Amino acid sequence: MIDDKKVDFSKTTFFRLVTKIADLPKDSKPQVVFAGKSNVGKSSVLNKLCRQNKLAKTSQAAGKTRNLVFFDVSEAFYLVDLPGYGFSKSSKAEQERFSKLTDDYLHSESPIALILHLLDIRHMPTRQDLEMVYWLEATKSPYTILLNKADKLSRPKQEQMQSKIRKFLQSETGIVFPMQKISAETGLGIDSLADLIRENVAGSK
């Protein structure tokens, strides 16, 4: 059992780059996955959460994270930074390799405690986002949508977009998903994200 009060995100270290399924950790520590379109801010949110700017590599150009990157939090569980989908500049073969790796990972026996699916709060979900929603939901792991880059909108606009996105996903899927606004830039919602992760990793063992 993980004592969630003792989990210190600032004690996160790089653990392993996984380029093939055989490299996945074989231990039973819970895994918390960051998924989402390229450039939505997965690596930036992970860094903000861990209060370390350079832990996960980020970039203004889409397609920075190319493999599954595992980080170890207080030797209690893993954070997993996934490559983004929808990145058109990489070759077709490369795109297929990333998505096969992600697909195989999410269907592996890995103890996934929580999937965090990032969307950009400024935009309605794309067709690809929606496919990912269906697909991630089908894994039956606990699943939350994070609306990132909230700092780019005024408070009223944030509320408006959150409501529009919630209604759109509900009308498409029939499901009301848990959803939180966050910003890797200002830290909005990052403390409650840390609590959500603590609860899920504590509950998963």
Ligand X SMILES: Nc1nc2c(ncn2[C@@H]2O[C@H](COP(=O)(O)OP(=O)(O)OP(=O)(O)O)[C@@H](O)[C@H]2O)c(=O)[nH]1
Q: Find the part of the chain contacting ligand X (CB under 6 A) among 91-99, 147-155, 158-166, 169-177.
A: 147-155
DSSP H or E segment with residue 43: helix 42-50
User: Is there binding between residue 164 and ligand X (CB under 6 A)?
Assistant: no
The three-point CA angle 26-67-61 to 5° equals 155
Q: Find the part of the chain contacting ligand X (CB under 6 A) among 10-18, 62-70, 109-117, 168-176.
A: 62-70
In the chain, the amino acid numbered 134 is: Y
Q: What ranges make up the beta strands (E) of the chain?
A: 12-18, 31-36, 68-73, 77-81, 112-120, 143-148, 179-181
Provide the token pair at 138. Answer: 């089908």
φ/ψ (deg, to 5) at 126 = -80, 175
DSSP 147-182: EE-GGGS-HHHHHHHHHHHHHHHHHHHS----EEE-
Beta bridge partners of 85: 37
Q: Return the residue of 2, 31, 33, 42 that touches ligand X, per CB under 6 A.
A: 42
Decide the pairing of beta strands 179-181 and 143-148: parallel
Q: Return the residue of 7, 55, 63, 71 that touches ligand X, per CB under 6 A.
A: 63
User: Is there binding between residue 189 and ligand X (CB under 6 A)?
Assistant: no
Binding mask 85-124 for ligand X (x = CB under 6 A): ----------------------------------------
Pick one of ligand X, Mg ion, none as the site partner of residue 41 (Cβ within 5 to 8 A by kind): ligand X
User: Is there binding between residue 43 and Mg ion (CB under 5 A)?
Assistant: yes
User: Is there binding between residue 64 and ligand X (CB under 6 A)?
Assistant: yes
Q: Find the part of the chain contacting ligand X (CB under 6 A) among 31-39, 94-102, 137-145, 191-199.
A: 31-39
* Residue 40 or 202 with smaller CB distance to ligand X: 40
Give the nearest distance from C-beta 81 to Mg ion in angstroms: 6
Give CA–CA dist 132/117, Å, rounded: 9
User: Is there binding between residue 84 and ligand X (CB under 6 A)?
Assistant: yes
Q: Which residues bind ligand X (CB under 6 A)?
A: 36, 38-44, 58-60, 62-65, 83-84, 148-149, 151-152, 183-185
